[in-house]
Amino acid sequence: MRKGRYLVYAIRRLAQFVLVVFIGVNLAYVITHATPIDPVEQSISAVTSFGNTAPAAIEEMRRSLRELYGLSGSPVEQYLVFWKRILRADFGPSLSAFPTPVSALVARALPWTAGLLTVSTIIAWGLGTLLGGLAGYDRTNRGLKLMGVVAMGLHPIPYYILALLLLIVFGFLWPVLPISGGSAMNLPQGLSVDFVLSVALHAILPALSLILIGVGSWFLGMRALVSNVVTEDYVVYAELAGVRPWRILSSYVMRNALVPQVTGLAISLGGIFNGAVITEKVFGYPGLGSLLVDAVYAGDYGLVLGVTTVSILGVSIAVLAIDLLYPLLDPRVKVR
Q: In this complex, which beta carbon is closest to another protein, that of residue 261 or of residue 309?
A: 309
d(CA 2, CA 60): 67
Q: In this complex, which beta carbon is closest to another protein, that of residue 294 or of residue 330?
A: 294
String marking each residue 204-233 x if it binds another protein according to CB under 8 A: x-----------------------------
**Alpha-carbon dihedral sign for residues 323, 324, 330, 336:** positive
Cβ atoms of 103 and 91 within 8 Å: the answer is: yes
Q: What angle do CA 133, 135, 138 make, to 5 degrees?
A: 105
Q: In this complex, which beta carbon is closest to another protein, that of residue 184 or of residue 324?
A: 184
Residues 32-51 that bind another protein (CB under 8 A): 36-38, 41-48, 50-51
d(CA 19, CA 25): 10
> Largest alpha-carbon pair distance within the chain?
90
Q: In this complex, which beta carbon is closest to another protein, that of residue 298 or of residue 318?
A: 298
* Residue of 7, 15, 31, 58 interacting with another protein (CB under 8 A): 58
In whole angstroms, the minimum distance from the beta carbon of 152 to another protein comes to: 28
Q: In this complex, which beta carbon is closest to another protein, that of residue 45 or of residue 141?
A: 45
- Judged by CB under 8 A, the stretch of 117-125, 133-141, 225-233, 289-297 that binds another protein is 289-297
d(CA 248, CA 257): 12
Q: Is the peptide bond before 286 cis (omega within 30 degrees of 0)?
A: no
Q: Length of the chain in residues, anyone?
A: 336
Q: In this complex, which beta carbon is closest to another protein, that of residue 61 or of residue 321?
A: 61
d(CA 320, CA 17): 7
d(CA 250, CA 268): 24
* Residue of 54, 76, 149, 241 interacting with another protein (CB under 8 A): 54
Residues 97-156 that bind another protein (CB under 8 A): 97-100, 105, 108-109, 112
**Alpha-carbon dihedral sign for residues 131, 135, 136, 137:** positive
The amino acid sitting at 211 is I
In whole angstroms, the minimum distance from the beta carbon of 63 to another protein comes to: 8
Q: In this complex, which beta carbon is closest to another protein, that of residue 226 or of residue 292?
A: 292
> Considering only CA atoms, which of 20, 12, 4 is closest in space to residue 314?
20
In whole angstroms, the minimum distance from the beta carbon of 163 to another protein comes to: 11
* Residue of 5, 12, 59, 145 interacting with another protein (CB under 8 A): 59
> Which backbone phi and psi does 225 adopt, to 5 degrees?
-65, -45
Residues 169-208 that bind another protein (CB under 8 A): 170-172, 175-182, 184-189, 193, 197-198, 200-202, 204
String marking each residue 257-276 x if it binds another protein according to CB under 8 A: --------------------
